[in-house]
């Protein structure tokens, strides 16, 4: 930890009305920081801000991150910028490739350019999607990125985030900008919406409503899910870790589960009568959709930098998501 952690810090979170952004805002406010978020509410939700707005150290602006004059002012006032604004979710990407590419690259360009003018620390959120079709798990940060054809829209997400990473690292190398690139693996928890295809909130909603639980493909594909509360703590710690500057860091859990087993787990925990059904990828997504069979992070770099990694067990995480849905 450097001194930054001990004095009041002004954090700016782009995409702060989103699932991870709003959890991060809560976490930073609890640490005594001042938090301002900017979000255009394209996928974020104003209700994610309900609790936050009661805190006098919280502020928000509903706007597009590509509004450069506005962002210049907000970046000016911040000590640390967490850049989370992005088009996320596989379904959205397949359906809106133009928006994905333009949002992901355009917003990051603006943030890095402005942060560089004032030498502000930036944490750039990237994604495990950038590993693409690489099948040598667990994924290490300097592994090759293996993308599919440009004719398949799903790869536009990974490529746009890879460009974001290149740009962030270029600013660090060429201009000395203090940046950290974090590759987020499957992050789940309360308030995540299943609207854009995310599997855990989708399964929980289906199970609670007695609808079929839809497993795509053969269900043998696996993921490592981490609890959002632990993920945002990692983001905070990386932002305040000088050794992390100029680094790409995986943030995820080591605990692997197949999607089929996840469906069974959700069904059991909710005591649901829903049946678990298999749906082909062609039916679930666009034709020719390529899914990742396994997605496992190597988190030794993260642990070396901040001394921890997300540990919460998937059953505990699923319980918290179920409770959240029941309360709604
Ligand atoms: N998935 C599924 N049923 C659903 C939604 C997703 O079986 O209703 C699968 C999806 O095909 C993928 C896994 O669950 O293999 C994780 O999907 P998600 O979109 O949550 O994350 P990502 O694909 O980015 O890892």
Any residues with Cβ below 6 Å from ligand 1, and which?
Answer: 90, 186, 197-199, 202, 214-216, 221, 223, 259, 291, 295
Among residues 137, 306, 162, the alpha carbon closest in space to that of 223 is found at: 137
Least confident of 101-105, 136-140, 281-285, 301-305: 281-285
CA distance 144 to 159: 13
Give me the pLDDT at residue 312, please: 98
User: Is residue 195 over pLDDT 70?
Assistant: yes
pLDDT tens for 257-306 read 999 999 999 999 999 999 999 999 888 876 667 888 999 999 999 999 99
For the chain, what are the domain ranges? 10-188+227-253+296-311
pTM value is 0.95
Give me the pLDDT at residue 89, please: 66
**φ, ψ of residue 247 in degrees (nearest 5):** -105, 155
List, as one string, the DSSP characters of 300-326: HHHHHHHS------HHHHHHHHHHHHH
Residue 298 tokens, joined: 């190597």
How much is the average pLDDT of 196-218? 94
Write out the H or E segment, with its range, that includes residue 99.
helix 97-118
Write out the H or E segment, with its range, that includes residue 121.
strand 121-127
Neighbours of 313 (CB within 10 A): 13
pLDDT tens for 14-30 read 999 999 999 999 999 99
pLDDT band for 7, please (50, 70, 90 cuts).
low
User: Is residue 5 over pLDDT 80?
Assistant: no
Q: Compute the distance from residue 312 Cα to the ligand 1 centre, in Å.
A: 20
Give me the active site residues, please: 157
CA distance 159 to 104: 10
Report the residue count for the chain: 328
Average pLDDT of every residue of the chain: 94
Give me the pLDDT at residue 196, please: 76
The residue whose CB lies within 8 Å of the most ligand 1 atoms, and thus the one to mutate among 183, 199, 225, 275, is 199
Which fold would CATH assign to domain 10-188+227-253+296-311? Rossmann fold (3.40.50)
CA distance 171 to 152: 30
User: Is residue 90 over pLDDT 90?
Assistant: no
């Amino acid at each position: 930890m450097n001194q930054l952690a001990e004095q009041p810090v002004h954090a700016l979170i782009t995409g702060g009305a989103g699932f991870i952004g709003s959890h991060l805002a809560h976490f930073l406010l609890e640490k005594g920081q001042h938090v301002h978020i900017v979000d255009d509410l394209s996928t974020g939700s104003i209700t994610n801000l309900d609790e936050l707005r009661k805190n006098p150290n919280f502020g928000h602006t509903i706007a597009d991150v590509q509004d450069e004059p506005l962002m210049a002012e907000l970046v000016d006032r911040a000590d640390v910028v967490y850049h989370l604004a992005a088009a996320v979710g596989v379904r959205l990407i397949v359906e809106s490739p133009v928006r994905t590419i333009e949002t992901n690259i355009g917003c990051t360009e603006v943030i890095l350019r402005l942060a560089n003018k004032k030498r502000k620390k930036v944490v750039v959120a990237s994604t495990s999607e950038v590993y693409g079709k690489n099948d040598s798990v667990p994924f290490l940060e300097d592994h090759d990125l293996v993308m599919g054809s440009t004719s398949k829209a799903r790869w536009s997400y990974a490529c746009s985030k890879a460009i974001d990473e290149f740009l962030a690292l270029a600013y660090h190398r060429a201009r000395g900008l203090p940046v950290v690139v974090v590759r987020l693996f499957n992050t789940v928890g309360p308030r995540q919406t299943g609207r854009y295809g995310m599997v855990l909130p989708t399964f929980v909603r289906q199970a609670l409503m007695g609808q079929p639980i839809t497993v795509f493909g053969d269900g043998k594909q696996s993921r490592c899910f981490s609890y959002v509360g632990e993920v945002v703590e990692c983001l905070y710690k990386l932002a305040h870790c000088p050794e992390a500057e100029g680094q790409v860091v995986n943030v995820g859990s080591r605990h692997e589960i197949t999607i089929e087993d996840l469906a069974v787990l959700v069904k059991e925990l909710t005591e649901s009568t829903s049946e678990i059904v298999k749906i082909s990828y062609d039916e679930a997504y666009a034709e020719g959709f390529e899914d990742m069979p396994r997605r496992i992070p190597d988190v030794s770099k993260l642990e070396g930098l901040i001394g921890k990694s997300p540990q919460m067990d998937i059953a505990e995480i699923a319980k918290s998501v179920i409770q959240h849905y029941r309360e709604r």
